[in-house]
Amino acid sequence: MNFNSVAVQVEAGIAVISVDRPEKLNALNRETISELGSALATLEDDREVRVIILTGSGSKAFVAGADIAEFAAYSTEEGRALAAEGQRQLFDRIEQLNTPVIAAINGFALGGGLELAMACHFRVASANAKMGLPEVSLGVIPGYGGTQRLPMLIGRGRAMEMILSGGMIKADKALEYGLVNHVTPQEDLMEFCRTLGKQILKNSPVAISYAIKAVNAGFSSSQPGFQAEITAFGDCFGTEDFKEGTRAFLEKRSPDFPGA
């Protein structure tokens, strides 16, 4: 598999997918989302691959959000299409994959990066990791499942606080909230995830695939919420707050939101 912004390694039944844009702190653009989706589809069809670990290259970031410069000028319709296509290509695909996907959060996981981690079947963070959904600071909301998956994982109140404040939490707080399953020293992160993967390898792949489907089915009533998120996400692109938020980000200044 040859990609521009994604690296894939397979060894002894465990595949490691790395988002490989360290100069951009592994920020997601449309190409990266497409390549991640393609890599996952290929690995899903490989009977030798029974566990996938998803991480970011370098030591600073898992994925530090979306590439804002790519969508700052989008219209409402383009915003909705961005969210819908991203969820279809990648985020929903991960959640529904028969092969277990472990997020190895090795640094910043912000915005689309945290949404990517939350789509995985479970998460392990390095001690230096920081997580958050800062989209409201740009005049938009999470658009890749964040308003749905975060409350499922940590409860409505905590999710509301994280989303509405736009703030970050550290790895120990994420562990306390149940957002991540484990926290390890950064140098031990990948080996810890591989050890978990090896434990999974001992079990029936058929049973595992059915277990994933069964767990996901328990949350199926939330699916209309994803459509509501797509619509609201797109609507944000038609607001002056979004234009000001993204312009301020790209100009490296604090935003001055006009409001409703």
Decide if domain 6-185 falls under CATH 3.90.226.10. Answer: yes
Q: What is the pTM of this model?
A: 0.92
Q: Known catalytic residues?
A: 115, 135
| pLDDT bracket for residue 190 (50, 70, 90) | very high
| pLDDT bracket for residue 26 (50, 70, 90) | very high
Parse the chain into domains and list their residue ranges: 6-185
Mean of the per-residue pLDDT values of the chain: 94
For 32, 162, 183, 230, the CA distances from 107, given in Å and listed in that order, are 18, 18, 12, 27
Residue 216 CA to residue 73 CA, distance in Å, equals: 35
Using the structure block, give the residue that is written with the tokens 């000001």: 244
Count other Cβ atoms within 10 Å, centred on residue 49. 16
Segment 136-189, tens digit of pLDDT: 999 999 999 999 999 999 999 999 999 999 999 999 999 999 999 999 999 999
| pLDDT bracket for residue 5 (50, 70, 90) | very high
- Quote the pLDDT of residue 221: 64
Express the helix, strand and coil content of the chain in percent, nearest 5 each. Answer: 55, 15, 30
Q: Is the pLDDT of residue 41 over 90?
A: yes
